[in-house]
């Protein structure tokens, strides 16, 4: 059993924008509530899918406060707080703890690429020590396909052993299960989430707690249903259905594709907007993707 505070399905929440590309805060708060209602056990706000690195620090602080003001339970939140500048990471992490977030999701400092294990360890240790709050829980965010800098298993183990009550898990978005198995081999009770529901069955069987997946923004009920049914009758059929949706989404750029689907489902154009350098999905592709997802949902309805 993983020792961290989260398990199940978490959504890295998409961010809707107004016409001037400012964040549509009320719509975002409503969507956070919706995802929890649809079965997400937590919200990984300010993740990659959230366009987090296109959001200013002040915007993230405002959004955290908006959720707090709206009464969204802090314990359901796992904000991404890892930034390249150590003082900004500390400031955002402190704000997350003050908002009673269940944990934070910590990217490595990804601008400098040729850093050694000691440098990565020192960065995370500095964040923990400077925040200096026993309530802090940290999940390390491993996404080398995008960040080009990851958390080596040896560093993960070193941090978990130095801060056993603080560094409790990770999100593996490396693209296969090799890394997750390597970490769980060193730390069997570590909260190692996978970043793709195609691996959730294998990950849970290996001792992982679940998945933090972009597709939860459009398929939360089915993914949650799969997680709850793992090891039971019907799980394989649900797994096939969930994976079919994931494969369809992966045919397009993930963030514009998911936002195009939400724009069509809700009828609100703000969902289709992305901040540069991303570009919106072409209209016909958005129509095709929604039609495909609707067809897949009809074949495997969630009951």
Alpha-carbon distance of 113 to 91, in angstroms, equals: 23
Q: State how far the Cα of 61 lies from the Cα of 94, in Å rounded to an integer.
A: 10
Strand segments, DSSP code E, in 38-137 are: 42-43, 104-106
* Residue 136 falls in which region: left (phi positive, over 0), alpha (psi -120 to 50) or beta: beta
Q: Tell which phi-psi region holds residue 4, choosing left (phi > 0), alpha (psi between -120 and 50) or beta.
A: beta
**Distance between CA atoms of residues 94 and 64, nearest Å:** 11
**pLDDT tens by residue, 242-256:** 999 999 999 999 999
SS3 131: helix
Stretches in the chain below the pLDDT threshold 70: 1-2, 298-303
CB atoms within 10 A of CB 146: 11
Q: In the annotation, is 171 catalytic?
A: yes
Distance CA 80, CA 141 (A): 8
64: left (phi over 0), alpha (psi -120 to 50) or beta: alpha
Given a contact cutoff of 8 angstroms between Cβ atoms, the answer to whether 198 and 243 are in contact is yes
- Catalytic position from the list 121, 123, 139, 179: 139
> For 214, left (φ over 0), alpha (ψ -120 to 50), or beta?
alpha
Domains in the chain (CATH in brackets) are 8-231 (3.20.20.70)
What pLDDT is recorded for position 2? 57
Q: Is 139 assigned a catalytic role?
A: yes
Q: Record the pTM.
A: 0.95
DSSP 8-state assignment for residue 94? H
Residue 298 pLDDT:
67
CA 94 to CA 132: how far, in whole Å? Answer: 9
Q: Which of 171, 201, 259, 290 is catalytic?
A: 171
| Residue 1, pLDDT score | 43
* Burial tier of 217 (Cβ tally within 10 Å: 0-12, 13-18, 19+): buried
Q: Which H or E element spans position 142?
A: strand 138-142
DSSP for 7-36, please give it. Answer: -EEEE-----B-TTS-B-HHHHHHHHHHHH
φ/ψ of 55, rounded to 5, equals -100, 140
C-alpha dihedral sign at 159, 161, 167, 172: positive
- Distance CA(193)–CA(210), nearest Å, equals 5
């Amino acid at each position: 059993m993983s020792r961290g505070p989260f398990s199940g399905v978490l959504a890295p929440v998409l961010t809707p924008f107004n016409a001037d590309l400012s964040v549509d805060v009320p719509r975002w708060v409503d969507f956070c509530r919706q995802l929890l209602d649809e079965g997400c056990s937590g919200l990984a706000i300010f993740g990659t899918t959230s366009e987090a690195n296109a959001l200013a620090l002040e915007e993230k602080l405002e959004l955290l406060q908006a959720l707090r003001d709206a009464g969204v339970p802090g314990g359901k939140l796992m904000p991404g707080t890892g930034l390249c500048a150590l003082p900004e990471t500390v400031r955002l992490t402190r704000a997350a703890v003050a908002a009673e977030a269940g944990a934070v999701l910590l990217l490595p400092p990804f601008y400098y690429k040729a850093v050694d294990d000691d440098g990565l360890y020192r960065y995370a240790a500095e964040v923990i020590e400077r925040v200096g709050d026993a309530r802090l829980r940290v999940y390390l965010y491993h996404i080398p396909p995008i960040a080009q800098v990851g958390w080596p298993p040896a560093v993960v183990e070193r941090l978990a052993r130095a801060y056993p009550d603080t560094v409790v898990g990770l999100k593996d978005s490396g693209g296969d299960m090799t890394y997750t198995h390597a970490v769980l081999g060193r730390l069997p009770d570590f909260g190692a989430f996978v970043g793709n529901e195609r691996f959730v069955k294998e990950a849970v069987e290996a001792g992982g707690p679940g998945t933090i997946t972009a597709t939860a923004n459009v398929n939360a009920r089915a993914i949650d249903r799969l997680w709850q049914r793992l090891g039971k009758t019907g799980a394989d059929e649900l797994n096939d259905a969930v994976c079919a949706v994931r494969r369809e989404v992966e045919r397009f750029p993930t963030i514009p594709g998911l936002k195009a689907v939400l724009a069509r489902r809700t009828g609100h154009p703000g969902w289709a907007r992305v901040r540069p350098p991303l570009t919106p999905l072409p209209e016909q592709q958005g129509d095709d993707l929604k039609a495909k997802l609707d067809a897949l949902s009809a074949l495997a309805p969630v009951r």
